[in-house]
Amino acid sequence: MSRRPLIGITTSDRKSQIAWLFDWFAVWRHGGRPRRLSPSRPWPETLDGLIIGGGDDIQAHLYDAEVQLDVRVDPQRDELELELLETFIPQGTPVLGICRGAQLINVHLGGTLDPDIYTSHEGLKRRRTVLPRKTVDIVADSRLHRILRVSWCRINSLHHQAVNRAGRGIAIVARDRDGLVQGIESRDHDFLIGVQWHPEWLIFNRPQQRLVRALVAAAAQRTAQGAG
């Protein structure tokens, strides 16, 4: 029996155990072996797949924006995740960015963020919920579209930052009905995808579980090819 692919999942050191259990279960149920990665934990030299998880805001200077005084940042985590992307993207490791993770992938590749969607988009309705209350349209024939197998879906929303200018090789492949970027993917890599929502919380939502399953499957395929 082939081994489960090792999937690193980045978190902050202060993430709640309940939130981590959702991360763990999302990967384990689809055949992966979850490994928590945080600033205080040494990370392995090899990973079969990588999830850059949700969390605090990204430091504004990393994408040449003005510093926001009323937000929480985690510089050590920024450093860790940028180092992980620098290491594993060139190796062809499948990478999925979730919420903050999608933003960090974009920043890593030279893109920018909207520091606060509620100040830059007048009249935007405030939504902060783990329940699927927002509608997102998916670009046809994108990799994300082929994975989810839907042209639109309902998602949760826990963010106040969003991708603004796309980074190098990045295609914007999903937007919500307010026009905000909700999904990105790389044109240059087989599996480098970011979504602004949290599929790990949508455990009964089939399209969202296909996304995590696809990450684990891509990691398993890469591992099998390496073993061969």
Q: Any bridge partners for residue 57, and if so which?
A: 73
> What phi and psi values does residue 94 have, to the nearest 5 degrees?
-60, 135
Write out the chain in H/E/C secondary structure.
Answer: CCCCCEEEEECCCCCCHHHHHHHHHHHHCCCCEEEEECCCCCCCCCCCEEEECCCCECCHHHHCCCCCCCCCECHHHHHHHHHHHHHHCCCCCCEEEECHHHHHHHHHCCCCEECCHHHHCCCCCCCCEEEEEEEEEECCCCHHHHHHCCCEEEEEECCCCEECCCCCCEEEEEEECCCCEEEEEECCCCCEEEECCCHHHCCCCHHHHHHHHHHHHHHHHHHHHHHC
Catalytic residue among 81, 159, 185, 200: 200
Answer yes or no: 122 catalytic.
no
**Contact call for residues 101 and 68 (beta carbons, < 8 A):** no
* Given 30, 108, 159, 198, the catalytic residue: 198
- 61 has catalytic annotation: no
Catalytic residue among 99, 145, 159, 185: 99
185 counts as catalytic: no
Q: Could you list the active site residues?
A: 99, 198, 200
